Structure 1
Amino acid sequence: MTLTEARQCALILNPEINAQRLRLLASRRFALAAGWWDDPALDFDALRILRGGPHPWLGGAGLTFTLPLTGVPGLERQAAQAYTRADALAVIVAERELLAEVERLWNACLTDRRCAAAQNDYRARLLAREPQVRALIAAGELPASEGDRLAQEIIKLDLECACCGAETVARQQALRRLLGLHPSAPLDLATEDDLEDEKPFEDDLQHAASGVLPESDLDLVRHPRVQEKLARFAAGEIELRAELRKRYPNISLGPRFGHEEGGGRLGASLGFSLPLWNRNRKGIATAEGDRDAARLAAVNEWRSLVTECHDARRRLQIAETKERGIREQQLPAALAAAERTERLFQQGEADVPAALAADATVYMAQEALIEARRVSDEARVRLYKTLVPPVDPERHAKED
């Protein structure tokens, strides 16, 4: 499985992201059902005149329509559409977070595999040295402790195996869970040769479809995380306007029919509420509190995103500098020193401990490079999460 296939698998099978999409679907349905007028009211009444004449019964019926002159249903529809837009942005944010987490666990699993390959290579070199060490010990040129030290180093490598540790298994299970796979499903990552042309987020940092790096802190206002909070703030503003308009009465209008003294009468009725004491004070207070909380959440989200962006850039700069130094200077120097030591050892001018020390130095440099690559990849993932993508929230909010 390649990283591209893992991304597609996660976007399709991940249960959390599918639950988020179902919530978006419910929000869209709610927006379609919002903003309708109140149903008309039909009433009947009947009276009997006590000690009456030949027509003691009086009857009547009426049909009443409520005219929302305050515009509350329209505001409710606008608020529902704003919440739908916020939920659509929340899905975008969740998808980006999911892809970033898949990338992080993918890099962690690749790091474990690289560490295991480096350990196996170092172990093979130690095993190749073992007959030489035993021969020199038998000839009396080396103390017996050198053989024990070599055996202890091999045992240490076996105990520190990067492919069968508890943390390695936990990372693999976490990756399966993100991909929506069964815990017992086989998970075979693509080999290094398959990944040569696949630079996970390096190309995404420059690809317009994934987003662009913000040039200033204000550019982060267009980030989906901030836009989601702003959409909820806009919905809170609309809800507050609706609650304020509920203080004003709606007009009830409709025809009425009555029967009295053996004859029928036809007329019209007009009514409205009298907002004298209540005036929707509780609803207005709740809407104001929700609006203020949404505004503060948007500001805090922007501030948090600014901090994450600067931190990610600094981490990536430090990680790339360290990785470049190990790759271009320290590891080549260790390999060159090991080659010189091996050549001197073959000529009889270097002893076995010197050759073992050179091999250990190469192994340490390889491990340092693997760790530097992991840190660099994680920093790149952090920076990817702060990109400002050119999304069209209205399109996502209107899609069915």
Structure 2
Amino acid sequence: MRIAIVAAMLMLSGCATYVPVPLASDSNALEKPVASVLEQSASAVERPWLKPVSIDLSKPLGLDAIATLAVANNPDLAALRARRGVAQAQVFAAGLLPDPTFSIGASKVASGPDTMLDVSGALGFDLNALRTRAVRRQGAVAQGEQVRLDLAWAEWQTAGQAKIQAVRIEQLQQIVSLAKKSRDSARSLLDRNERASARGDIAGDRLQAARVAAFSADDTYNTAAQSLVTAQGDLRRLLGLRPDQPLALAPIPDIASPPPASALFGLAEKNRTDLAALREGYAAQEAAVHKAVLDQFPNLGLTLNSQRDSAGNLLLGPAVDFTLPLWNRNRGTIAVERATRAALKAEYQARLFQTRADIAAAEAGVRTALQRKADALAGIDRIEHFAAASRTAADRGDLSLEAAESAEQALRDRQIQLAQAQQDYDEQMIALELLTGTPREAWPQ
């Protein structure tokens, strides 16, 4: 009896215990760590496609620092990392052996010559679980690797999106500054024309033209300012920062032109972790098909029976139970798993096709942005010289102020076109980098 009690205590000592972990209901759960904690956690991030960089939120952040901070602090990535623990637990569970079953019973003779209790016991083992253990573990390992690769792809995409917002903010700040000067100039011209119209010095159509110009300048400025605010908010969200967190950005360096799209597609097929994740998912499905085929064979169960009947006879013997594969033979499950495998193969081919198309479209977008940039640069020196000369002439009284402001507005319009073209080029280049799954430094020259 003591041995049985000790054995029961040992078995119970290895059992897990339940501890509730309630969700936080107060606003403190939304507070992010202080800057020093963020800088330390970001500096500890190691990814093969990230350059080593130290984070200092009090200084302007470059593209590498922005990418590192996004990987370290993005809340969506933190949730995905927590989900990865589920896949790791599934790999652990797939390697465990099933516990044996035990049963015991006793019955008393209600009438008859025998006076002893009829006592029986049985110890059972699930042999089918042993047969499929290897293939189940193989599938779980592949699924765990798929989750890891999906997380790596999410990190790559998040870092790239943060860099896109950074280059967008730099150009939008320049556009907003130019649009504000245009708005102020248009408002000043409208004010002068309104006073001149009140004196009867100009015709009504000139006043109306000034009003239209002022309205257009206001609309351009408001649109650019709103786009800048949106981009700044999106960047803070991607970096996991509070909406009121001060954030300064370093100047964005020039981005070199890309190689041909055919070379980039080869890089994407080799290095994109989402494609690697799909391959791991296909491997997991192969294991599922293999297991379904194994499950068509009889499910074996072994039981060791022991009994003492009411006459005192001791009985001992094994028993084997199995399912006869006559009609079902697990054909339905096999068909489902094979169809799922075929669907995953088609999905992988579709992803490859889409990857090639996206890279070609992004490469075409880069060429278009380069042409727009070249068109904006063409003759800008002449426009700038003409605007400066017009202002000088207006200051001397040789030219009307309206003509000088018109020349300066033409220069600002061209500068806005140049900033927009540069923004499109930088965004398309980063998008192309995201599509290849490969840093630009590793692209073929």
TM-score in same-fold range (> 0.5): yes
Partner of 2:251: 195
Matched, 1:63 2:123: yes
Deviation at 1:343, TM superposition (A): 5.2
* In structure 2, distance between residues paired with 1:216 and 1:171: 28
Asked if 2 retains the 8 angstrom alpha-carbon contact of 1:214 and 1:388, the reply is no
Tell me, yes or no, if the aligned pair for 2:267 and 2:438 is still in contact at 8 Å. Answer: no
The one of 302, 308, 312 equivalent to 1:259 is 308
Label 1:86 to 1:159 Cα distance change in 2 as closer, same or farther (>3 A). same
Tell which deviates more after alignment, 312-321 or 250-259.
250-259
Instruction: Confirm or deny: 8 A CA contact 2:305 2:316 kept in the other structure.
Output: yes
- Give the fraction of aligned pairs with identical amino acids, expressed as a percent: 20
Unaligned residue ranges in structure 2 (runs of 5+): 1-59, 440-445
Partners of 1:164 and 1:310 in 2: CA distance: 29
Q: Which has the higher contact order (CA 8 A, sep 6+)?
A: 1
Counterpart of 1:262 in structure 2: which amino acid?
A: G
Render the CA deviation track for 1:221-256: whole Å, top value 9, x for unaligned. Answer: 322222222211211111111111111124333533
Q: Structure 2 residue aligned with 1:319, among 358, 361, 369?
A: 369
Distance in 2, Cα, partners of 1:319 & 1:165: 22
State the TM-score, normalized to the length of structure 1: 0.79
Distance in 2 separating the partners of 1:69 and 1:343: 91
Deviation at residue 33 of structure 1 after TM alignment: 1.4
5 Å-filtered alignment, 1:1-400, equals: 1-2=60-61, 3-46=63-106, 52-55=112-115, 57-68=117-128, 71-122=131-182, 143=202, 153=213, 157-158=217-218, 160-162=220-222, 165-183=225-243, 185-190=244-249, 194-195=250-251, 198=253, 202=255, 215=263, 217=265, 219-222=267-270, 223-260=272-309, 261-327=311-377, 329-342=378-391, 350-389=399-438
1:86 deviates by: 0.9
Query: 1:257 and 1:123 mapped to 2: Cα distance?
Result: 96
Q: Secondary structure at the match of 1:11?
A: helix
8 A Cα contact 1:35 1:75, kept in partner: no
How far apart are the structure 1 equivalents of 2:234 and 2:161?
10
CA distance in 1, matches of 2:264, 2:218: 50
CA distance in 2, matches of 1:54, 1:204: 97
Residue type at the aligned position of 2:379? Q
The separation in 2 between residues aligned to 1:69 and 1:101, in whole angstroms, is 46
Say whether the 8 Å CA contact 1:37–1:68 is kept in structure 2. no
1:270-327 per-position Cα deviation (integer Å, ceiling 9, x unaligned): 3333233332233323322322222221111111111101111111122123213423
Render the CA deviation track for 1:152-208: whole Å, top value 9, x for unaligned.
75675455435884444333333332222233x134433xxx415x45xx37979xx
Over 3 Å counting, the alpha-carbon distance change for 1:110 and 1:265 in structure 2 is same
SS at match of 2:436: coil
TM-score (norm 2): 0.71
Q: How many residues end up aligned between the 2 structures?
A: 372
* Counterpart residue identity of residue 414, structure 2: A
CA offsets per residue over residues 346-397 of structure 1, 9 Å max, x none? Answer: 676654444233212101111110111111122112201122449xxxxxxx
Task: Measure the CA separation in 2 of the matches of 1:388 and 1:22.
Answer: 23
Q: Distance in 1 between matches of 2:129 and 2:394?
A: 97
Q: Helix, strand or coil: the match of 2:263?
A: coil
The letter of the residue matching 2:291 is A
Contact 1:70 1:246 survives alignment (8 Å): no
Q: CA deviation at 1:333?
A: 2.5
| Rounded Cα–Cα distance in structure 2 between residues aligned with 1:19 and 1:322 | 41
Give, in angstroms, the shift of residue 258 of structure 1: 2.2
Structure 1 residue runs of 5 or longer lacking an equivalent are 207-211, 391-400
Distance 1:91 1:213 in 2: 26
Cα distance between partner residues in 2 of 1:99 and 1:240: 37
Letter in 2 for 1:65: F
Offset at 1:148?
Answer: 8.6
Distance change >3 Å, CA 204–CA 338, structure 1 → 2: closer
